[in-house]
């Protein structure tokens, strides 16, 4: 269920509102009808609750006044019963509307936070626990729901009760109304100040809870390594330290709330006793009726108990606001790589790539490229090799616009990447990385991820072309088999071929192979290489490869070193020159021969 209006911009790259108040106000406006109706129902129900107390006064006075016609009690009784019925009906209606509102707003918040979160660059996710980020999205929606419930049921009713009580008490004894109002304002002010001072404790608890949750998810997602290194006890001890820090922060937050409650209880005892004594004394002076004593007593306790709920609710909201504020701080900043306001859809033509005088450095100051230039004609298969740190992965990242260069520009078919939308750019690029990212979904769904509108038959055709149809058919449920988290139920070669099937199905004009076979054994590599031949046919290919033998049939090899091109040409020409590429080839060939001799000797 969504209440978002047509003019909402969920995919905007603008930062989220910096304050929780502004963030919440956006959803109040989006769901204005629901929140307005909820406000009206709660105010009406709370007003009826005060009126019920006045109805009780009328009934008691009718019964207690000497010489009153006994038939006169039926009118106040009917009024009393009608007010109770109206109050209950309004509360139940408010509960129904509150359910629709809180659930719907929670869905909107999680979607909006995910949309903004997914717009951050890849390096952002390397700097934060994925589990902690996911928890923040869920917890923020929960915090907003809790905040809405608190305001609806614990803050708004006491405020209405207070106004109504002051009006009713003013008709009985205006001095009582004035004293009660003064006392309530004083208590609310004191508790409010105390609550604000506790905000750092609540925020610290929110931070520690997010960190502990992220650590737990990180350990569970790497359980293979935990078992392989006999690290269960080590990880349990590590988590125990994290949980202990969280527990300390939680106790500090909780006990601070208890101190606030104790302070309010003292005020409640003093004021309730004083107001009741005052009312009884006035009755002994025949200045008020028994019904007045009843209504003064009930309203006083109602207001003071309501003020306690209000005070605790206000203190509790500081925790919710703290959690929302922390989420906005972590998830909410402006995207480092954003679409330009006038960005248009990419119009792929042939698949040419150009890097023009590109300079790029990471945030830590590490420079990768200075005035780097490279032209890849449409349909050319180019291999990129070089030592670690030469800039190979950075080159691939800039092509996908995972980062923007500080100077120069990257072009796709003559179109600057910064002038087109990121989604349309990436839709024109199929990437086969070293580690294939698979979801805990069926094989069919994972392959179809390359083109969501593909038919089952098209998915099977892509799988056949990627030489993975046979092993898929052998799985327990064939294409409907769940692959497990990160594809753990499949071997490395099987995952790689599913990734290739996904890329074949995508049918993009540019193919990026980022160390696509470096982690495979010889047999798996052979199978994957055959699948790759089908994938790269007739397309522009940019392949980063550690195993140089995989590039022997390519049109061109570019050798990088320290962000510079030191060799560029067809593989045969580079071999003939006897330069860096030839030296790397001989080194790998010698290593492969030694490995073969060692295996045979074993």
pLDDT digits (tens, 9 = 90+) for 400-455: 898 889 999 999 999 999 999 888 888 888 888 878 888 888 989 988 888 888 89
* Token code pair at residue 47: 């007003």
Q: What is the pTM of this model?
A: 0.70
Rounded alpha-carbon distances, angstroms, from residue 62 to 51, 67, 170, 474, 533 = 17, 10, 21, 86, 97
How far is it, in rounded angstroms, from Cα 399 to Cα 415? Answer: 12
Other C-beta atoms closer than 10 Å to the C-beta of 263 total 15
Q: Is residue 60 part of a domain?
A: yes
State the residue range of the domain holding 248: 20-331
Residue 235 forms part of a structural domain: yes
CATH number of the domain bearing residue 58: 1.20.1560.10
Q: Which residue has the tokens 């086969």?
A: 432
- In whole angstroms, what is the distance from residue 541 CA to residue 351 CA? 9
The answer to whether residue 84 sits within a structural domain is yes
Within a domain: 327:
yes
Q: Which residues of the chain have pLDDT under 70?
A: 1-14, 61-62, 64-71, 192, 195-196, 304-305, 307-308, 311-312, 315, 516-525, 527-528, 588-602
User: Domain for residue 45, yes or no?
Assistant: yes
Q: Is residue 1 part of a domain?
A: no
Residue 337 lies in a domain: no
In-domain check, residue 526: no
**Pairing between strand 510-514 and 540-544?**
parallel
- Count of other CB atoms within 10 angstroms of residue 354: 18
B/e letters for 547-568, b = 16+ CB within 10 Å, e = fewer, are bbebbeebbbbbbbeebebebe
Question: 46: which residues sit within 8 A by CB, 6+ positions away?
Answer: 156, 157, 160, 161, 164
| Cα 190 to the center of its chain, rounded Å | 36
Per-residue confidence (pLDDT) for residue 232, from 0 to 100:
84
Give the number of domains in the chain. 1
CB 557 within 8 Å of CB 385: yes
Identify whether the C-beta of residue 400 lies closer than 8 Å to the C-beta of residue 512.
yes
Task: Indicate the burial class of 545 (C-beta count within 10 angstroms; 0-12, 13-18, 19 or more).
Answer: buried
């Amino acid at each position: 269920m969504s209440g978002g209006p047509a003019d909402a911009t969920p995919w905007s790259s603008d930062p989220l509102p910096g304050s929780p108040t502004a963030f919440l106000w956006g959803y109040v406006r989006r769901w204005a009808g629901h929140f307005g109706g909820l406000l009206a129902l709660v105010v009406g129900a709370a007003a009826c609750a005060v009126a019920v107390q006045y109805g009780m006064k009328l009934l008691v006075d009718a019964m207690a006044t000497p010489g009153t016609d006994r038939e006169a009690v039926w009118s106040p009784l009917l009024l009393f019963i009608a007010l109770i019925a109206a109050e209950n009906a309004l509360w139940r209606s408010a509960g129904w509307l509150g359910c629709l509102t809180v659930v719907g707003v929670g869905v909107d918040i999680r979607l909006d936070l995910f949309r903004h979160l997914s717009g951050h660059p890849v390096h952002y996710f390397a700097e934060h626990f994925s589990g902690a980020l996911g928890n923040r999205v869920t917890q923020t929606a929960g915090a907003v729901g809790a905040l809405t419930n608190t305001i609806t049921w614990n803050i708004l009713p006491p405020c209405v009760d207070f106004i109504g009580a002051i009006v009713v008490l003013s008709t009985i004894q205006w001095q009582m109304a004035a004293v009660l109002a003064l006392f309530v304002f004083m208590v609310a002010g004191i508790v409010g100040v105390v609550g604000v001072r506790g905000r750092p404790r609540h925020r610290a608890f929110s931070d520690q809870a997010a960190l502990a949750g992220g650590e737990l998810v990180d350990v569970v997602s790497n359980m293979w390594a935990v078992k392989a290194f006999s690290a269960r006890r080590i990880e349990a001890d590590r988590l125990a330290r994290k949980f202990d820090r969280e527990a300390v922060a939680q106790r500090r937050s909780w006990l601070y709330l208890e101190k606030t409650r104790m302070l309010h209880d003292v005020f409640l005892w003093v004021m309730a006793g004083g107001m009741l004594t005052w009312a009884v004394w006035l009755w002994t002076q025949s200045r008020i009726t028994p019904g007045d004593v009843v209504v003064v007593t009930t309203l006083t306790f109602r207001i003071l108990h309501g003020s306690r709920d209000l005070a605790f609710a206000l203190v509790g909201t500081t925790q919710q606001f703290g959690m929302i504020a922390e989420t906005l701080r972590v998830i909410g900043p402006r995207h480092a790589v954003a679409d330009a306001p006038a960005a248009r859809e990419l119009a792929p033509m042939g698949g040419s790539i150009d890097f023009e005088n590109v300079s790029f450095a990471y945030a830590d100051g590490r420079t990768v490229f200075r005035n780097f230039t490279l032209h890849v004609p449409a349909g050319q298969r180019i291999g990129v090799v070089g030592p670690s740190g030469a800039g190979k992965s950075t080159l691939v990242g800039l092509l996908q616009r995972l980062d923007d260069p500080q100077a120069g520009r990257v072009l796709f078919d003559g179109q600057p990447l910064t002038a087109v939308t990121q989604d349309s750019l990436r839709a024109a690029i199929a990437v086969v990385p070293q580690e294939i990212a698979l979801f805990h979904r069926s094989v069919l769904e994972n392959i179809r991820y390359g083109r969501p509108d593909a038919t089952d038959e098209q998915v099977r055709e892509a799988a056949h072309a990627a030489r993975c149809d046979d092993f898929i058919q052998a799985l327990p449920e064939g294409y409907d088999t769940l692959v497990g988290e990160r594809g753990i139920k499949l071997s490395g070669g099987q995952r790689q071929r599913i990734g290739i099937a996904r890329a074949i199905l995508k049918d993009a004009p540019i193919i990026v192979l980022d160390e696509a076979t470096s982690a495979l054994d010889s047999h798996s590599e052979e199978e994957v290489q055959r699948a790759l031949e089908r994938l790269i046919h007739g397309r522009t290919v940019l392949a980063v490869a550690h195993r140089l033998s995989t590039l022997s049939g390519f049109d061109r090899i570019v050798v990088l070193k320290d962000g510079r091109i030191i060799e560029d040409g067809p593989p045969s020409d580079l071999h003939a020159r006897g330069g860096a590429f030839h030296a790397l080839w001989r080194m790998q060939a010698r290593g492969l021969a030694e490995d073969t001799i060692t295996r045979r000797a074993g």
